[in-house]
Amino acid sequence: MEKDQPHPWLDLLKANWLQPGQNQLNPPTGSVIPCRTRSLTPPESSQKIIPDGDYLWFPQGLNRTPKLPAQIIPSAQAPIASAKVAETITFGSPIQISRRFEEDTDLGDAIHAIFAAEFTHPNHPKRATTAERILKEFGCDQSVWLEDVLRAVDVFREDVEKRFKPKQTLVEVPFSFRNPAGQLVQGFIDLLLETAQGWVVIDYKSFQGQKSDWEAKALSYSGQLDCYRQALAAINMKPESLWVYFALGGGLVRIDVSTTVTPTRIIGTT
């Protein structure tokens, strides 16, 4: 570092006593610090070093993977390829509709509300007026008969009580958990029954198709049902069976999302 050359970076210190090329430093404290100067001469040539191939100083680059969504919506999950239909039960009380809906969201929400009211307050004296009000609020009162809906509710509730003998019946059960990938899974289980064998999950669907299409349609909800299964398993609640209830057609379809599948059985009731 030459004494007479400008050194703007060194001038930033605003220390005039600190300059290169001096034999001693005289700081403001009054002390004297001897300095030794020397010049550095670069070599005429340098040896080229070839790195050892057995040592990797930098890891090899990894391919970027798609970013997982932070939250999982059960109803938006894809079907599980290994899922199977394990059992189908038909009732004798379908709900007739006077017109088909392009989207059955409103009808489905109305059915959810009516069934929830019935299972929380069975045979309530105001259930007919309550169901009628719900249908009107969702704009479905001109599309389905109130008598059909109430009859379907009765048949379904009686069959559920007879078939599963629930010790406890819960409706619209909220859940929230994180899967092994750290994603938040949350939603609601339409109907949750505590039985002697374990917990039974029933999901309501307002599918307007034919009975012959039930199995394929129920399998399309297997990813959603598996989210419910995981939610129960996350809090050590044994999931005994998973069902899809087609309220309009009057049928229950049991879906097995495990690798071991029981033979399919078709059960009809009148």
* Rounded mean pLDDT, 4-11: 69
pLDDT at 6: 64
State how far Cα 59 lies from the chain centre. Answer: 34
- The structure tokens listed for 167 are 């010790």
Q: What integer pLDDT is reported at residue 54 of this predicted model?
A: 74
The neighbour count for residue 136, using CB atoms within 10 Å, is: 13
Query: Which one is predicted more confidently, 32 or 263?
Result: 32
Question: What confidence score (pLDDT) does residue 270 get?
Answer: 35
User: Residue 99's pLDDT is what?
Assistant: 67
Domains and CATH numbers, the chain: 73-268 (3.90.320.10)
Report CA dihedral (112, 117, 119, 122) to the nearest 10 degrees. Answer: -140
Whether 250 contacts 152, CB under 8 Å: yes
CA Rg value for the chain: 37
Q: Which of 41-55, 58-72, 155-169 shows the highest mean pLDDT?
A: 155-169
Residue 61 pLDDT level (bands cut at 50, 70, 90): confident
Mean pLDDT calculated for residue range 137-165: 92
Residue 92 tokens read as: 């004798």
Amino acid at residue number 244: V
192 forms beta bridges with 170, 201
Of the chain, the percentage scoring pLDDT greater than 70 comes to 89
Give the model confidence (pLDDT) of 84-124 as tens digits.
999 999 977 788 887 665 556 888 899 999 999 999 999 99
Tens digit of each residue's pLDDT (9 = 90 or more) over 202-216: 999 989 888 999 999
What CA–CA distance (Å, rounded) separates 159 from 163? 6
At 154, which amino acid appears?
D
Q: According to the model, what pLDDT value does residue 3 have?
A: 54
Residue 259 has pLDDT above 90, yes or no: no
Mean pLDDT over all residues of the chain? 85
- Rounded to the nearest 10 degrees, how much is the dihedral formed by the CA atoms of 108, 114, 120, 124? -170
**Nearest residue to 240 via CA among 205, 203, 193, 204:** 193
The string of pLDDT tens digits covering residues 12-60 is 777 777 777 777 777 888 788 887 767 777 777 777 777 777 776 777 7
Q: CA 208 to CA 102: how far, in whole Å? A: 10
Task: Please tell me whether residue 237 adopts helix, strand or coil conformation.
Answer: coil
